[in-house]
Amino acid sequence: MLKNSEEIELLLSAREPGIRDPQRSEQGPKEILCDFFKDRDVNGQRVLELGPGHYEFCETIRQRGAKAEAVELDPPVIELGLRRKFRVWPGNLTQLPSLTIYGKFDGLFCKGSNNPFWFYGNEKTLRTYIVAMVNLVKPNGWLWIVSSPDCSPTLTSTQVIQWLEIEARIYRELGFTEWVIPHKVIASYYGICFTHSRLAVFTLGLPPHSWSAYSIMRLIWFCLNSFFFRHLRKLFK
């Protein structure tokens, strides 16, 4: 969510069209914290987000007492973070193992900003990338990761699924819990863009996914809003 005309103007030159959009949905961070961080108090934690976009997760976790920082490649997005008083480490995530980022974090969050297809066909490099994310976190820390669904249109759906399965196996071998998102409505409830038939949340150091009463109510409201009211509005247009 962009807060004023200066921020809207700043992000007009962002690399990604979704990030240029001032109406970009804020959905996700609150719901994620509610359902994945049940017993985890983030107050006082140092948390790193990879690719923060409009800094929704950084803002939400800062409101809960954490100190949020980010890694970002795109100058306008870096500038947005600095204006909002976040520490931003400039850098290209494809080079994560060699980026300069000082100190270890209590938690690392990445929603749709890293992409296993950057390393398509090279399992060793993909593993090195995932290990680099784990190494940014303290031994008792946590990671919450959803990869970007974007991949080359030249890949067949079988190739895409096979590579996503290789990615999932690497996460599992490193001790992550995998939660395969059952439906695109659930994905959008958590602010996740769903284009593959196989999309998963990988977590380490967090309890397995479970629905809170708050989420069930919000999800019902979300579904009503997405389907019912949208169609109703069309009828009355």
Name which position in 11, 42, 93, 108 contacts ligand SAM (CB under 6 A): 93
User: Is residue 48 a contact partner of residue 69, using CB atoms and an 8 Å limit?
Assistant: yes
By the rule CB under 6 A, 160 interacts with ligand SAM? no
**DSSP string of 167-183, one letter each residue:** HHHHHHHTT-EEEE---
Q: Report residue 190 CA to chain centroid gap.
A: 9
The two beta strands, 46-50 and 200-204, are unpaired
By the rule CB under 6 A, 73 interacts with ligand SAM? yes
By the rule CB under 6 A, 149 interacts with ligand SAM? no
DSSP for residue 103: S
By the rule CB under 6 A, 94 interacts with ligand SAM? yes
Residue list 3-32, contact with ligand SAM (CB under 6 A): 15-16, 18-19
Which one, 46 or 54, has the nearer CB to ligand SAM? 54
- Distance between CA atoms of residues 203 and 9, nearest Å: 35
Contact flags string 27-56 toward ligand SAM, x per CB under 6 A? ------------------------xxx--x
By the rule CB under 6 A, 59 interacts with ligand SAM? no
Which one, 94 or 177, has the nearer CB to ligand SAM? 94
Q: Which residue has the tokens 């929603």?
A: 111
CB count within 10 Å of CB 222 equals 17
Binding site for ligand SAM (CB under 6 A): 15-16, 18-19, 51-53, 56, 72-74, 77, 92-94, 111-113, 191
